[in-house]
Amino acid sequence: MPGPVTIIRDRQLAIRRALDRRNLSLKILSDDSGLSYDTLKSYFPAWNPDKDPVPPVPAQIPGSAIFALCGHLPADLLSWLLPDGFLVVRAPEGIDHDAAAEAMEDYLQAKNRAHHPESEAGREIGPGEDGVLTAKLAVVRAA
């Protein structure tokens, strides 16, 4: 099994491919993050496996660069620099606790109704109920 340095470098190459597929420019990322363009190219080098079977070896990205990229590189791509099961998630700046509590209560009431023996799938959650619960949970997460 490859070590963490190899895993991160492989993921850095994958991030570059994802940036290219999404048409996200390293130059714009450089302007937004404050990291130099050449530095970003060293962390996320271009590679075309059809032209060159040997991938480049990216410079190992330091924590300070990850910090600078936060808010500029999409969070799903930043998450690729973390171990499996970990995610970069932007925390909300302001939470309306009353709205969050109302959304949670609404979700819990709907979930309890879905478990009623006379509901769509009896004690199990049916497909229609699952859709309703998923939508209500999205409201909770957004609150």
**Could you report the per-residue pLDDT of 23-71, keeping only the tens digit for each?**
999 999 999 999 999 999 999 999 988 999 999 999 999 999 999 999 9
| Amino acid residing at 80 | W
CA distance 109 to 101: 12
pLDDT of residue 92: 72
CA distance 69 to 61: 11
Tokens 């079977």: give the residue.
53
Confirm whether 92 is domain-assigned: no
Same domain, 107 and 39: no
Confirm whether 103 is domain-assigned: yes
- Structural domain tally of the chain? 2
Same domain, 17 and 47: yes
Same domain, 76 and 102: no
CA distance 125 to 121: 6
Q: Which residues pair with 124 in a beta bridge?
A: 121
Instruction: For residue 57, give its domain range.
Output: 4-81
Same domain, 75 and 122: no
Confirm whether 90 is domain-assigned: no
Q: What is the DSSP letter of 21?
A: H
Same domain, 54 and 23: yes
What pLDDT band is residue 106 in, cutting at 50, 70 and 90? very high
For the chain, the average pLDDT equals 91
pLDDT of residue 95: 82
User: What's the pTM value of the predicted model, to 2 decimals?
Assistant: 0.67
